[in-house]
Structure 1
Amino acid sequence: MKKGYMALRKELDGILSPADLDRLPRRWQLIGDIVLVRIDGLEDFWGEIGDAFFKIYPWAKGVAVDCGVHGKLREPDIRVIAGEVSETLHRENHCTFKLDPRKVIFSPGNMNERMRIAALGTDEFVVDMFAGIGYFSIPMAKHAVPEKIIAIELNPVAFEYLLENIRLNHVEKIIEPLAGDCADLTPVGVADRVIMGYLNAEAYLEVGVKAIREEGGILHYHEAVPYHLFPNRPVERIQAACRSLGRGCEIIEAKKVKKFAPGVLHAVIDAAIT
């Protein structure tokens, strides 16, 4: 977003000091008609920054500051700084996602990973343990066309959007949504492929491994990991879970999805479980 950053800087030149201009964000997210941005301080100028985004994106409905995600339900903390932030439609890779950024998370920064997963799983039985609003289940159902996807989500608001997005994308015959904790609802010994898209899912690794068929299958395990511990920490956690269950595993690939926080990486490990 280099051009966008330069445009933002130009709009705020003369309003912010040179030092504060250097603190402006280089990246932000466009979710439907909402601009979602992380800002390092500059609270006294959030209103002016919001107005500048409206000049860059005149079609936008609202601008909000992303202050992080909290709790087991992955609830977003955002502060609206311009316009109105409410329910929106986000379109990506021929999929439609309805969501309210005030209530549920969505990261366009994960788009490449969603597109990669969308090409996998044809004719397979898939379990998406942390389905959210359908981040992975929807594109996989539309493009790869698995035999079945069990999509589990604990957050009741996200689950309602999951139901709506299944309908919007006409994949009712493929995705079976389940509301509740994947620790209780994940089936055992049935999956060809398991997606663990929650970044704090270490405690659920054995549940994910147990879901995979005795004949074997693929596990996609996501983790927020310090750069200096990648890929060893998530790989070792998968290996430990497999050992405890008497299962074998072979690491296929360790991928860097994106920067998650200063010094922390969003990583995904693909492992063949036997």
Structure 2
Amino acid sequence: MYRVVRIQSEKGEEIREKAIAGKFLDTTRKIRKLQIREGTFLEIPVTEAAGETIEGFPVIEQEDPEFLKPSSSLKEYMKDFLSETELVQVPSGWHVLGDIIIVTIPESLDEKKFLIAEALLSIYPKCRSVVRDFGIEGQFRQPKRELLLGSGTETIHKEHGCFFKQDVTKVMYSKGNLEERKRMSKLGKGEIVVDMFAGIGYFSIPMAVHSRPKRITSIEINPESFAYLKENIRLNQVENMITPILGDCSQAAPEGEADRVIMGYVGTTHHYLEPAIKALRKSGGILHYHETVPESLARTRPEERIEKAAEAMGKKVEILETRRIKKYSPGVLHIVVDARIFEQKL
């Protein structure tokens, strides 16, 4: 758990100096400035030694902590163990999920993978495991990963006020989709929502926690992801809002009841447009359609696929927004289209 004391900005230097003198300033994280309705505040990162209050200000848990760049890079840690040729191939990036570091290591450094793992744990002392990533495979887009060092591969990642329990060797969690998850957390208030590819609750959980829809039906076909979906519903205390369903969304999706349908899957998402449109109310609703698409077709193909599917069902489409989520692979983008589907008037 990462802790901070949140104080008015004018008291920042005073509290920072007390934290340094008391040896409870956490120097691995940034001091963060927040502009909220009550004014301008600073979040000063502190360690467990800070206690429950500092000068009358409560110590609280921090969401989405920002870490300072380590004083030594991975290459600097490895320079005494690798040749110059090998140093060039040392990973320059990795990501931290909960208390687990996930890193891609080239085959040419196979013999040095445990040394690299040890170096990463030295850089991130609060992490407990290092997992090597080989990409994704199979219908369920499961990660292919190897535990290099540490005590396990299950963790709880906190993001935007939500908890996501997962085993990083069994389910995928994309840090690149963070902004889209935050965006979805602002939508759906009081609505009936269908999440067709729910996974471990990537979109269902933030929406339930922050927007409080009337009901979310979250459908997931992968039994391992589904088990974590149920666990995350419990962890986030949204059992009264989310109904999890194990199954194929083309058969399990309800018909004619949703105000909003989330299609947060990429690969063959367009094959599921018919059941997605059927899930919406007869009078219509909003579709959030995800697709991976060549960069040259990003502004045309996703929209055309939605329009074609809707037209075949006697529906009309209003494209509300087309958003780029991230670069999926060289020359390929992950796109999401927000579209309003409604009845075609004769």
TM-score, length-scaled by structure 1:
0.93
Residue of 123, 130, 135 corresponding to 2:202: 135
CA distance in 1, matches of 2:334, 2:113: 28
1:232 to 292, 296, 300: 300
1:49 matched residue in structure 2: 116
Question: Which residue of structure 1 aligns with residue 77 of structure 2?
Answer: 11
Instruction: Say which structure, 1 or 2, has more relative contact order (CA 8 Å, 6+ apart).
Output: 1
Shift of 1:20: 4.0
Shift, 1:4, TM fit: 5.7
- Residue 270 (structure 1) aligned with residue 329 (structure 2): no
Asked whether the 8 Å contact 1:126–1:192 carries over to 2, the reply is yes
Compared with structure 1, are the counterparts of its residues 5 and 203 closer, same or farther at alpha carbon in structure 2 (3 Å cutoff)? farther
TM-score normalised by the chain length of structure 2: 0.74
For residue 167 of structure 2, what is the aligned residue in structure 1? 100
- Which amino acid in the other structure matches residue 249 of structure 2? C
The letter for the 2-side match of 1:36 is I
User: SS state of the match for residue 131, structure 2?
Assistant: strand
Which residue type is aligned with residue 45 of structure 1?
A: K
The 1:272–1:190 alpha-carbon spacing in structure 2 relative to 1, beyond 3 Å, is same
Within 2, Cα distance between the matches of 1:61 and 1:135? Answer: 24
2:318 match: 250
Please list, as runs of the form range in 1=range in 2, the aligned pairs for 1:9-158 lying within 5 A after superposition.
9-41=75-107, 42-158=109-225
Deviations 1:156-213 (A, max 9, x none): 1111111111111110110011111101111111111110111121211111111111
Aligned-residue offset at 1:139 = 0.6
Inter-partner Cα distance in structure 2 for 1:94 and 1:211: 29
Alpha-carbon distance between aligned partners in 2 of 1:86 and 1:212, rounded to the nearest angstrom: 38
Q: Percent identity?
A: 48
Alpha-carbon deviation of 1:73? 2.0
CA distance in 2, matches of 1:207, 1:10: 53
Matching of residue 261 in structure 1 with residue 329 in structure 2: yes
Aligned position for 2:266: 199
Cα-Cα RMSD: 2.0
Distance 2:341 2:86 in 1: 50
Does the 8 Å contact 2:317/2:341 carry over to 1? yes
> How far apart, in 2, do the equivalents of 1:70 and 1:125 lie?
33
Q: Which amino acid aligns with 1:132?
A: G
* Structure 2 Cα separation of the partners of residues 255 and 40 of structure 1: 32
Asked if the contact 1:191–1:213 (Cα under 8 Å) also holds between the matched residues in 2, the reply is yes
The number of residue pairs the alignment matches comes to 274
Deviations 1:91-115 (A, max 9, x none): 1111111111111111122111111
Query: Are the aligned partners of 1:128 and 1:195 in contact in 2 as well (CA < 8 Å)?
Result: yes
Please list the CA deviations of residues 34-56 of structure 1 after superposition, one character each: whole Å capped at 9, or x if unmatched.
11123444333322221221111
| Counterparts in 2 of 1:245 and 1:40: CA distance versus 1, 3 Å | farther
Q: How far apart are the structure 2 equivalents of 1:95 and 1:196? A: 20
* C-alpha distance in structure 2 between counterparts of 1:25 and 1:81, whole Å: 15
- Higher mean C-alpha displacement, 198-207 vs 67-76: 67-76
Secondary structure class of the residue paired with 2:153: coil
Report the alpha carbon displacement of residue 30 of structure 1 after superposing the two structures with TM: 1.3
Question: Which structure 2 residue ranges, 5 or more long, are not aligned?
Answer: 1-66
1:164 to 231, 242, 245: 231
